[in-house]
Amino acid sequence: MSRLHARLEENLKLKYGLMICRLWVLIKVAEWFLFKKMEYSFFNSLTNFSSTLLPLIYAGANSNDSAFIDPGSLKDVDVKGKVVLCESRGFSGVVEKGQEVKNAGGAAMILMNPESFGNITAAYLHVLPASDVTYADDLNIKTYINSTSSPMATILFEGTVFGVPYAPQLAYFSSRGPTLASPGILKPDIIGPGVDILAAWPYAVDNNRNTKPTTFNMISGTSMATPHLTGIAALLKSSHPDWSPAAIKSAMMTTANLTNLGGTPITDDIFDPVNVFSIGSGQVNPAKADDPGLVYDIQPDDYIPYLCGLGYNAGTVQAYLKHS
- Asked whether the beta carbons of 17 and 32 are under 8 A apart, the reply is yes
Angle between helix 245-254 and helix 222-239 axes, rounded to 10 deg: 110
Phi, psi of 119 (to 5 degrees): -100, 10
* Domain 2-161 part of CATH 3.90.550.10: no
pLDDT at 48: 66
Statement: residue 289 has pLDDT above 50: yes
Query: For residue range 215-262, what is the model confidence (pLDDT) as tens digits?
Result: 777 788 888 999 999 999 999 999 999 999 999 999 999 999 999 999
> What average pLDDT does this structure show over 137-145?
90
Phi, psi of 126 (to 5 degrees): -80, 165
- pLDDT band for 10, please (50, 70, 90 cuts): low
pLDDT at 17: 43
For the chain, how are helix, strand and coil distributed in percent, rounded to 5? 25, 25, 50
pLDDT at 202: 75
> What average pLDDT does this structure show over 275-301?
94
Architecture of domain 169-293: 3-Layer(aba) Sandwich (3.40)
pLDDT at 193: 93
Statement: residue 90 has pLDDT above 90: no
pLDDT at 217: 77
Domain 2-161 and domain 169-293 have a common topology: no
Q: What average pLDDT does the structure give for the chain?
A: 81
- The alpha carbons of the chain give a radius of gyration, in whole angstroms, of 24
Statement: residue 324 has pLDDT above 70: no
Q: Mean pLDDT lowest for which of 30-34, 192-196, 201-205?
A: 30-34
Q: Mean pLDDT lowest for which of 29-38, 66-75, 257-266, 301-310?
A: 29-38
pTM (two decimals): 0.72
Q: Are strands 130-133 and 108-112 parallel, antiparallel or unpaired?
A: parallel
Statement: residue 18 has pLDDT above 90: no
Statement: residue 195 has pLDDT above 90: no
Statement: residue 211 has pLDDT above 70: no
Show me where the domains of the chain are located. 2-161, 169-293, 294-324
d(CA 116, CA 134): 10
- Asked whether the beta carbons of 106 and 80 are under 8 A apart, the reply is yes
Statement: residue 3 has pLDDT above 70: no
Query: For residue range 40-62, what is the model confidence (pLDDT) as tens digits?
Result: 333 333 556 777 899 999 987 66
- Asked whether the beta carbons of 216 and 125 are under 8 A apart, the reply is yes
pLDDT at 22: 24
